[in-house]
Amino acid sequence: MYRKMANGKSLYKIISDNQFIEIQYIGSKYFVKYFKISQYPDMLFLKEVVSANSPYELAKKEEVEKLLRV
């Protein structure tokens, strides 16, 4: 499952209900972070991302996987 922020600054690869990868653009660089969540507020955040309601939206698999391969 793949999501992104509407502004394109963050992209997400949802691995499971408690794991995801975030690709975040800062300036002209991007950073990849792996998250394994165990706290309730973080679970709520992931639920919001998965919902694809504003400011989150669907992302294409190719769009995210391309950045993870670099």
pLDDT, residue 64, reads: 93
Q: How far apart are CA 70 and CA 64, in angstroms?
A: 11
Per-chain mean pLDDT for the chain: 94
Q: How far apart are CA 20 and CA 56, in angstroms?
A: 15
Query: One-letter amino acid identity for 20?
Result: F
Higher pLDDT, 70 or 1: 1
Residue 17 domain boundaries: 2-69
| Tokens 């792996």, residue located | 34
How buried is 35 (Cβ within 10 angstroms: 0-12 exposed, 13-18 middle, 19+ buried)?
Answer: middle
Reported as a single tens digit per residue, the pLDDT across 12-38 is 999 999 999 999 999 889 999 999 999
Domain total of the chain: 1
Residues of the chain with pLDDT > 70, as a percent, come to 99
